[in-house]
Each structure stands twice: as C-alpha cells, then as structure tokens.
Amino acid sequence: MTSSSVASSAPSFRVWALGGIPEVRAGDDLAKLIAAAEPGLVDGDVLLVTSKIVSKAEGRIVEAADREAAIDAETVRVVARRGPLRIVENRQGLVMAAAGVDASNTPAGTVLLLPEDPDASARAVRDGLRDALGVDVGVVVTDTFGRPWRNGLTDVAIGAAGVRVLDDLRGGTDAHGNPLGATVVATADELAAAGDLVKGKAEGLPVAVVRGLSHVVASDDEPGARELVRSAADDMFRLGTSEAVREAVTLRRTVREFSDEPVDPGAVRRAVAAAVTAPAPHHTTPWRFVLLESAESRTRLLDAMREAWIEDLRRDGKSEESIAKRVRRGDVLRNAPYLVVPCLVMDGSHTYGDERRDTAEREMFVVAAGAGVQNFLVALAGERLGSAWVSSTMFCRPVVREVLSLPSSWDPLGAVAVGHAVGVARERAVREAEAFLTVR
C-alpha cells in the first residue's frame, strides 16, 4: 500500500465558513437566510451557527443603559466574583461570564441576550433547512466561553439538534486493551471549537459547515446541548473560593438525626486540618480534637457521661421523670455514627499573677478554641457532613478525661456529633446583618 493511499483512507473532515449571510434582524428566518446563501449542504453535514445571529433573529436585543442590570436579570446564581467580573449560572442553566449578556455586535444602548431556548433554536434551523433544501443536517448553536484552569476562549455548544452531543466510550477499551471507565467525549463542543477557527465576528462570518463527520448526525430524538451541562450533584467545582466558603457557612446547620451511612475518617481529618488554621494568641495551637471512631469508645464515654449527668440532676432535686426527659434530649450524640471531642489546651499562655489579666488570657484562648471548632463545623459542611455541637462534656470534664485517658490539662469543649443528615434541613430563619451591627 502506498503512502498516498494510506493518507486517503485516514479519517478526515473539512470545515469552512459560509459567506453571504446578511445582517440579521429581529423576525428573520435564519434557515431561509442560510439556504439563500447557497451553502451546498448535503446529508450528514453539521451547521455551526453563532448564537449572536440566533439572538438577533429571535429579538433578544433589549435596551439597557446598564449592562450590569441586564446581567442581574439573567442570573440565577453567582458562581464566582472577582472585582466587576462575575461568573454566573444563567436562565439557560449555563455557567459563564456575565450570563452571556453581550454589549458588542449590537447598537449602543442595547445588549444582546442569549437565545431563550438554544436547543429549540437549533431544531428550528434544522427543520427549516430540511424544508428549504431537502437535506438532513445537524445544527449546533455556539457561544464563546472561558474555561476553568485554562487561558483563552473557545466556542462551545449551547444548543443542538440532530447531533450526538456526547460520545460515551465507557465500557469500551483503548488500543492496549485497557477498559475505558470515564471517557465521555463532548462531541458538540469539539465541533463548535472547530467552527470557531474559520468563523469570525469582525469578518461577518457567523456560520460554518463541517463535512465528513456524518456519524455524529442523528435523529430528531437526540437530546440537545442541555445534556452537556453537568448537574449540581456531579459538579465538584460549583463555586468560586469565596462563594464556596459562604455556602459552607450557610450549609452549617445543627443536625440531630443521622443515617446509618458511615463517615469517611479522611473527611473528618480534612476538617481538622481546616480547624487548626484558626487564629490563636501568642502563636499557640490551643486546639486538640479527639476522634471517637469506634462504637465501643463512643458508648463507653456516653454511658459514663449519662451517669454523671443523672447524679447532677438528682443533686439538683429533679424528679426521675424530669431526669429521663433531659437524658433523652442528649440522644443526639448517641445516635451519631461518629463523635469528636474538641479540647482546649493552654500551652503557651501567660501567667500575670493578676486576676483581671489572667482571666482575659484564658478568655483569649477560649475564643481561639471556639474559632477552631467553628472552622471544623464549616469544613464538615463543605464535606457534606452534618454536625451538632453539644456542650455536655464541659459539665463533666473529669469523667471525659478519665474515660478517654486525656491529660489533665485538656479541657473538653463539648462534643461534635458527625454524620450524614436524614432528610432536608428546614429553611434557616433570615437574620439581617444590620440587626447585629453597631457603627461608630
């Protein structure tokens, strides 16, 4: 076999920009405009259409003296913010800069919004070309995106019709026979990027054609580009840094009912690593975290604490019925699959020999320990673990130290129940920050 015959049999495709598309105005029929440009389409071609002309044809130009207000109106959720730049989830479910609101390629005082339903827009163009030219082509509506971890912009598919947007290779094998366990190719995005190499806003070339990849053209039943949007449950990078911190703080709720699902000890250790970044006086480390990972250790501690609590309540003159009710309220710790006992240590503290200053010194350490516990609780929430910080170990510190064989200098600061929450937490009551502020 000659080298030329090998080359001719190798997979290949062509991509070119389609000229002759006039300025698009509201109400124009895009399929008719494309057909009038005599594109020479054949069955199996893929048409790549820039979203800007789709938006113009659909009348998605709106007057907006303030682009920021238009972005607000199109935003469902802020993903990340840095200065004036916002990465948001928009009404179409796309995560992108400025919600896709474009102030270029549109008259002054107006902005261009993305198509309301890009998949429906792609279907309309596909159907229109079938009627006008009698061809069966795939259609991809494209827009320009930035990407996490990568510099530069590229076109991606935001709408599609008659195209296999994903090519799922899982279950197959590579050239060496290795199983493919996670390979799903974003075919529609690859097509969009190929088209961007030949299209151009400035050159007035908003449409491109790909030929030679007929295997990606499919029936009308094929799901659209919406299939490319990763669900929130599968999105490991759903938020920017500051937004992730705020969401974790918001997610931190007191959970009193846990499932039987085991707790990942690694997640707890990662939360401890976050806890010990809290501020502390005199460059000290006033936190210690005792992890009760075995059921035996948890039961032994809680049984001893219960006996100590019952004795205290009896000394207070409580009735046996009242004692039983109070003890039951402490079952949140007993029902948790994992317990953590945070402790305060005063290593590195100063002694002044003055009651006022010595009291203040201890208070500084207590505040620092509390900051560490808060970090711990927030980090647990970030790991999608529920928690409840219960103060009970503080009322029987000698018992806790004895059962857990802790140094006498360690002061237990309650216990944290950790686990996977049962059900959905109730909505938190709104607390307006202004109610807690005093400005001088």
Instruction: Give the residue-averaged pLDDT of 62-90.
Output: 88
pLDDT at 275 over 60: yes
Cβ atoms of 65 and 59 within 8 Å: the answer is no
pLDDT of residue 171: 66
Cβ atoms of 93 and 229 within 8 Å: the answer is yes
CA angle 39, 117, 152 (to 5 degrees): 75
Q: Where are the domains of the chain?
A: 13-60+114-234, 64-111, 241-436
Question: Can you count the helices (H) and strands (E) in the chain?
Answer: 13, 17
Q: Which CATH fold topology does 241-436 show? A: NADH Oxidase (3.40.109)
Instruction: Give the residue-averaged pLDDT of 14-34.
Output: 95
Cβ atoms of 102 and 112 within 8 Å: the answer is yes
Question: Matching CATH topology for 13-60+114-234 and 241-436?
Answer: no
Mean pLDDT of the chain: 89
- Reported as a single tens digit per residue, the pLDDT across 353-377 is 999 999 999 999 999 999 999 999 9
- Give the Cα separation of 37 and 53 in Å (integer): 15
Cβ atoms of 161 and 137 within 8 Å: the answer is no
- CB-count exposure of residue 16 (10 Å: 0-12, 13-18, 19+): middle
pLDDT of residue 201: 60
- Reported as a single tens digit per residue, the pLDDT across 233-273 is 788 777 777 777 777 777 777 888 899 999 999 999 999 99
Neighbouring-strand partners of residue 144: 155
Task: Name the residue type at position 231.
Answer: S
- Reported as a single tens digit per residue, the pLDDT across 305-316 is 989 888 888 888
Which residue has tokens 């980090």?
A: 379
Name the residue among 124, 135, 132 with its Cα closest to residue 45: 135
Lowest mean pLDDT of 199-203, 222-226, 271-275, 378-382, name the range.
Answer: 199-203
Name the residue among 329, 327, 339, 326 with its Cα closest to residue 389: 339
Lowest mean pLDDT of 75-79, 144-148, 429-433, name the range.
Answer: 429-433
Give the CATH architecture of domain 13-60+114-234.
2-Layer Sandwich (3.30)
DSSP designation for 162? S
Q: Per residue, what are the HEC states of 230-246?
A: CCHHHCCCCCCHHHHHH
pLDDT of residue 240: 76
